[in-house]
Structure 1
Amino acid sequence: MFCNKMLELQRLYRQASLLALITIYYNLGEGVVSVWFGAGDETIALFGFGVDSFVEVISGVGIWHLVRRLGRGETADRDTFERQALRVTGGAFYLLTAGLLATAVLSLLQGHQPQTTRWGIIVSLVSIVSMQVLIHFKTKVGTALNSPAILADAACTRTCLRLSVVLLLASLGYQLTGIGSLDAIGSLVIAVFSFLEGREAFQKARGLGCGCSCACGTGLKSEH
């Protein structure tokens, strides 16, 4: 029985590690596509969404590292690498927030309009579906392992889902109405999410929480 339980735990942690890697590579691809077409189509919301995806890669590497440690039977207390990754993530989110705020305000003042937001619609729809699949499996694995850390990661993926919805609304709204300010407003909302994610990252680096929602209210230290 004990051996079977250990084998099952190892299988679940391998799944969790794979999900973390999928998230990293997905965000890399999403970031490249979003930044490329966001710059080409002059849509701030899509460009900002892409930069946010790149920052999520840094956070994802920290999560992958944490899951691998948990799979080796270590405690969920964050090590030096994870804390440093969180600080870099938090700083990058704050820089993104400042850049999006400045660009969005300038865009509103100048009455700038994107060339098109079709790619924003496509990227956001793909992201919504992908994030829902990742949330489902991360929650399933996290529940099976009774892991606050993995459940917290699933909760953070829900934040990415909300960002995708914001991008979809801004892109679809502009495509249907031609109101250029919708793109800038969408980027302002993304800036707010980026600020909250940055604050969350610094809090986690200081050990003040495990992230993104009350789904992990028991705290990381309760694991193992």
Structure 2
Amino acid sequence: MENIITTTDNIRLYKIALGFALFTIIYNIAEGLISTYLGFEDESLALFGFGADSFIEVISGIGIAHMIIRIQKRPDSNKDPFERTALRITGFAFYGLVVALVFTSLYNIWSGHKPITTFWGVVISIVSIAIMWMLVLGKRNVGKKLDSEPILSDANCTMVCVYMSIILLISSGIYELWNIPYIDSVGTLGLSYFAFKEGKECFEKANSDKYCGCH
């Protein structure tokens, strides 16, 4: 009887984990569209870069959803070619984003460019922090119950999104309150640092059967 209950619980928990993954994909698509549009309109590089990062997270999220389906069917299996390819594509995308953001932010500092407003950066970052933090807690809860290293690793990676949202909140908030020059570009460089770490993590995961923690 215990085995039946355990199996039923596992099926339910994997469905919840998959639900978290699918929600992450949908949320990042919406966040990416809104952030890049408003970042472009308001000339806020930090918000635009944050939105571009969200689109890359969609690619990663697809790989995560595929991973959850795989480990549900074959708990002891290693990454398959689809997951490794998704990780490499995501890694290259992060590195490309880093180059674009660093060069643009340095140019903005050199030229003295400032955003029109960072109000929407404040709003979007607060919403993102709240949603991503709830996802972290949910993923960690499911990962612990399933004793699943891959799902716990995904929760830690979602935590990186919280860190990036905090950077956006700080840079956007400071500029909105005190109009300090270059703070939007400094925030962009902070986002670039985490994007670089995520890209490096993707290649490490793609070349190994281990699941890194995204720290």
Shorter-chain TM-score range: over 0.9
Alignment root-mean-square deviation, CA: 1.1
- How far residue 163 of structure 1 moved from its aligned partner, in angstroms, is 0.1
Superposition TM-score, scaled by structure 2 size: 0.97
1:48·1:100 contact (CA, 8 Å) conserved in 2? Answer: yes
Instruction: Flag the 1:137–1:131 CA change in 2: closer, same or farther, 3 A.
Output: same
- Equivalent in the alignment of 1:58: 59
Partner residue of 1:79? 80
Shift of 1:208: 6.3
Length, aligned pairs only = 214
CA contact (8 A) 2:122 2:169 kept: yes
Counterpart residue number, 2:204: 203
Q: CA separation in 1, counterparts of 2:112 and 2:178?
A: 15
Per the TM alignment, residue 2 of structure 1 is displaced from its structure 2 partner at its CA by: 1.3
Which residue does 2:157 correspond to in 1? 156
- 1:9 counterpart residue number: 10
Is residue 66–residue 76 contact of structure 1 (8 Å, CA) maintained in 2?
no
Identical columns (%): 43
What are the ranges of 5 or more consecutive residues in structure 1 without an aligned counterpart? 215-224
The answer as to whether partners of 2:79 and 2:209 remain within 8 angstroms in 1 is: no
Listed one character per residue, the Cα deviations across residues 139-193 of structure 1 (whole Å, up to 9, x for unaligned) are 0000000000000000001100000000000000100111130000000011111
Quote the residue 2:194 is aligned against.
193
Contact 2:136 2:156 in 1 (8 A): yes
Which position in structure 1 is the counterpart of 2:26?
Answer: 25
Task: State the shift of 1:5 in Å.
Answer: 1.1
Give the whole-Å Cα distance in 1 for the aligned partners of 2:76 and 2:82: 14
Give structure 2 stretches of 5+ with no counterpart: none
C-alpha contact (below 8 Å) 1:159/1:212 kept by paired residues? no
CA contact (8 A) 1:135 1:158 kept: yes
Q: Secondary structure at the match of 1:116?
A: coil
Distance in 2 (alpha carbons) for counterparts of 1:126 and 1:110? 31
Partner of 2:125: 124
Give how far 1:72 is off.
Answer: 1.5
Structure 2 partner of 1:181: 182
Work out the CA distance in 2 between the residues paired with 1:79 and 1:188. Answer: 34
Q: When the two structures are superposed, what TM-score results if normalisation uses the length of structure 1?
A: 0.93
Partners of 1:76 and 1:149 within 8 A in 2: no
